[in-house]
Amino acid sequence: MIKPKALKKGDTIGIIGPSSPSVEGKLESAVQELTALGYKVKLTESCHATHGYLAGADDQRAADFNNMFRDKEVQGIICLRGGYGAMKILHKVDVEVIKNNPKVFVGYSDITALHLLMNQRCNLVTFHGPMVASDFAGGLGDFCKESFLKAVTKSEAMGLIQNPTDVDIQCLVEGEAEGEIVGGNLALVSGTMGTPDEIDTKDKILFLEEIGEEPYRVDRMLTQLALAGKFDDAVGIILGDWNNCESKKHANSLTLMDVFKEIIVPFKKPTIYNLKAGHCTPKVTLPFGVRANLNATEGKVYIKEAATI
């Protein structure tokens, strides 16, 4: 895997909007937060643009994405927010530009589509972590800030990934596994099926998280991955945060845990639940594409390899 250079104070972070637009006022607050951390900030047109539910037309969002990797003044890239739209620009991404200009790249949710492309087609290590309007705008808080900086500014293995204090990681299936962590938001991972960026879980630790989905919809997406052999291929599974995924429609609904036990547990892969990565506050920053050890029995994840150089 290609590793980006670690960020340092004084570096310039480019902000791109590959998905949905930001709420007015949040961008300015986020820029102040990044500046307070010691970074310069460079904005793209998609930071201010709107095209319905998108942060600008597809060509504009794709151009901003490619240009931030080309830009020699920019050392890292953080996405504006999730929402929807990243999959619409996958065919417009300049893979060679990314390979030749590796940089720290951070985002989650809809940004999962871009993580998969960069991990699989560009062999680039990326980071599932806080975004500009979604997280930096409100202030990261000590836990989130520490996890983010540990991931993107240290040229050494992160070691044990810890949850916030008093929030336990739970074991669903005992055992131990080792491999690169891949994945992201469940809806986006399932949405790649049958495309050139379909997730490859062979010998990988599969990470999944979600927000606002009814258990039957989670069931459907997990079943799609199961039928496609993605759980068979994985060596282990990390279930992150599942924000607001309780049923609001059906009194007789299965619970989210029922769904996990019926679909995931039978594969007998070491599995943990409740790692605070995803649509939650505070959140862990996870590197995609470096070796990790999952000790599900003990509820622990160790990053064994540096994610930056």
Q: Per-residue pLDDT tens for 185-234?
A: 999 999 999 999 999 999 999 999 999 999 999 999 999 999 999 999 99
Domain with CATH 3.40.50.10740 in the chain: 12-139
Query: Stretch 6-23: mean pLDDT, rounded?
Result: 97
155 as an active site residue: the answer is no
In this prediction, residue 260 carries a pLDDT of: 98
Across 276-285, average pLDDT: 97
**Across the beta sheet with 159-161, what order do the strands follow?**
159-161, 300-303, 291-295, 176-185, 205-211, 236-243, 271-273, 170-173
Biggest distance spanned by C-alpha atoms of the chain: 56
Catalytic option among 20, 109, 134, 190: 109
Active site residue 109: yes
Assigned architecture for domain 12-139: 3-Layer(aba) Sandwich (3.40)
Tokens of 208: 């999944």
Rounded distance between C-alpha atoms, residue 244 and residue 302, angstroms:
27
Amino acid at 212: G
d(CA 229, CA 21): 35
Mean pLDDT of 154-181: 96
User: Active-site residue 279, yes or no?
Assistant: yes
Looking at residues 267-277, what average pLDDT do you find?
98
Catalytic, out of 180, 209, 210, 213: 209
Of the candidates 236, 154, 176, 172, the residue with the CA atom closest to the CA atom of residue 201 = 236
- Indicate whether 25 pLDDT > 90: no
What pLDDT does residue 295 have? 98
Residues carrying CATH 3.50.30.60, the chain: 159-303
How confident is residue 23, by pLDDT bands cut at 50, 70 and 90?
Answer: confident
* Three-state DSSP state, 13: strand
Separation of CA 124 from chain center: 14
Answer whether CATH 3.30.2270.10 is correct for domain 159-303: no
Does residue 100 register a pLDDT over 90?
yes
